Amino acid sequence: MAVGCVTHSYIQKINAGLEADAKIAVNPRTLEILEPTGVTEKMLALGMPMRGVRFSQRSKPAREILFKGQVRHKYPFLLALSQATTERLLAEAFEKAGDRIERRIELIACRNEGES
Ligand SMILES: Cc1cc2nc3c(=O)[nH]c(=O)nc-3n(C[C@H](O)[C@H](O)[C@H](O)COP(=O)(O)OP(=O)(O)OC[C@H]3O[C@@H](n4cnc5c(N)ncnc54)[C@H](O)[C@@H]3O)c2cc1C
């Protein structure tokens, strides 16, 4: 079944744009998926692999989880990288591929033009 979706109309959206800088880590599978774009290589050069996490609570001993031996993947770690850097690298790759990012617009309608 062919499925197509086209934008019907756009209006200005006041609060669209970059979201708050909340995301801090890139997952192994994301690094794998982005390999063909060249973004993974740049992320690895700028980020810091997190090989485990330590939870601490006042007056209680810290607990640790180490990923070694637990995460069986080409990239056996979470890559610490700011959301701003991740967004910049993705935007650069997207634009290098000839596409254009449009901000402050809202999709208000979508029509399926596919044939079943
Ligand atoms: C606090 C927090 C921290 C997180 N940290 C991490 C992390 O460290 N690592 C990680 O891998 N994941 C993290 N996540 C999960 C991650 O944010 C999501 O998995 C990811 O953002 C999903 O991407 P998405 O493109 O599907 O949706 P979104 O990121 O939600 O993107 C959807 C976008 O579409 C826009 N939009 C919606 N409706 C319209 C419309 N009608 N017209 C135009 N635009 C529209 C929205 O404004 C939004 O910008 C975190 C999530 C939260 C809440």
> Which residue in the block uniquely carries the two structure tokens 């973004």?
39
DSSP state of 14: T
* Protein residue closest via CA to atom 6 of ligand 1: 23
Query: Tens digit of pLDDT for each residue in 19-42?
Result: 556 778 999 999 999 999 999 999
What average pLDDT does the segment 43-70 reach?
91
pTM of the model: 0.78
Cβ 24 under 6 angstroms from ligand 1: yes
At 12 the pLDDT is: 37
At 116 the pLDDT is: 65
* Average pLDDT taken over every residue of the chain: 83
At 19 the pLDDT is: 53
| Cα distance between residue 115 and residue 102, in whole Å | 29
Do 24 and 84 touch, CB atoms closer than 8 A?
A: no
Do 7 and 106 touch, CB atoms closer than 8 A?
A: no
Sequence spans of domains, the chain: 9-103
At 99 the pLDDT is: 92
| Cα distance between residue 60 and residue 26, in whole Å | 29
Alpha-helical (H) ranges within the chain are 28-33, 39-46, 83-96
At 2 the pLDDT is: 37
At 79 the pLDDT is: 96
